[in-house]
Amino acid sequence: MVRPQGRAISGEHRRVALVTGAARGIGAATVLELADRGWSVLAVDIAGEDPALPYAMGSKRELVALAAEASSRVSRVGAVRPFVADVRDPAAMRAAVAEAIDAWGGLDAAIAAAGVIAGGVPLWDMPIEQERAVLDVCLGGVINTARAAIPALLARPEPRSGRFLAVASAAATKGLPQLAAYCAAKAGVAGLIRSLGAELGGTGVTANAVSPGSTDTEILAETARLYSLPDAGRFGGQQPVGRLLEPAEIAAVLAFLASPDSSAMTGATVAVDGGLAL
């Protein structure tokens, strides 16, 4: 997909974002989209393997390369910086937020895109360490990001336009066999966003999520393996658009939600799913 160049950020300061799960997939696409729109971005990823999971995580090399490419799009040295942190570690997420503030003076958006998947068997047969990894990254990681980032969003002077965003999934509302932990975690993200929207009412800071359908990412490739499918392309036929979605398509919606233009939205989970949930 050819991604259009967005308009640059104007105003007293360039808007600053923190994006988790940034080494690849939707997280990486979001970093690039924000960079195209003139944002400064801290690109956060664990950048290492998880022994509980049977597929490869994003690497430090991918994270550094992503930050370099994104910075080149902004034409400002250091406009996008890589930062290695595990979203399951609250102290690491506080350090990431502190890094963004130290680099650029504040924070305007935090986008919790980090996620993992495991399953392929009924819940009662799923190894407990895999279940824990899915819950701790896909839901706990969003909570840890919110705990660290929202105080920084609220620290901006009024009138504020801070944005806390998360990546949920069509799995939040569909009962997918052999992916019970993943479905539970993503449903939890949607519930969390509703509550944060209520808690942040009147502050100028909003909380929203996107709910992607089958998107061409490593997580979907692993899902195909768990279902013993020859390739992830088989999932595209389940969506009325008749194809897999591109990470950049999800990122474009996240970039809109991160902008001041989304001021009328809070507590929402926006379906960006090619019609999968219909």
Q: Tell me whether residue 248 is exposed, middle or buried, using C-beta atoms within 10 angstroms of its C-beta: 0 to 12, 13 to 18, 19 or more.
A: buried
Catalytic residue among 58, 182, 215, 269: 182
Cβ contacts of 151 within 8 Å, gap of 6 or more = none
182 part of the active site: yes
Tell me which DSSP letter residue 259 carries: S
Angle between helices 90-104 and 141-155 in degrees, nearest 10: 30
Q: How far apart are CA 263 and CA 269, in angstroms?
A: 15
Rounded Cα distance between 168 and 115, Å, is: 9
Q: Which tokens go with 204?
A: 């100028």
* 114 phi and psi angles, rounded to 5 deg: -65, 135
User: Rounded to 10 degrees, what is the CA torsion of 46, 117, 20, 239?
Assistant: 150
Torsion-angle region of 128 (φ positive above 0: left; ψ -120 to 50: alpha; else: beta) = alpha
| Nearest partner of 181 among 226, 227, 135, 120, judged by Cα | 135
Residues annotated as part of the active site: 182
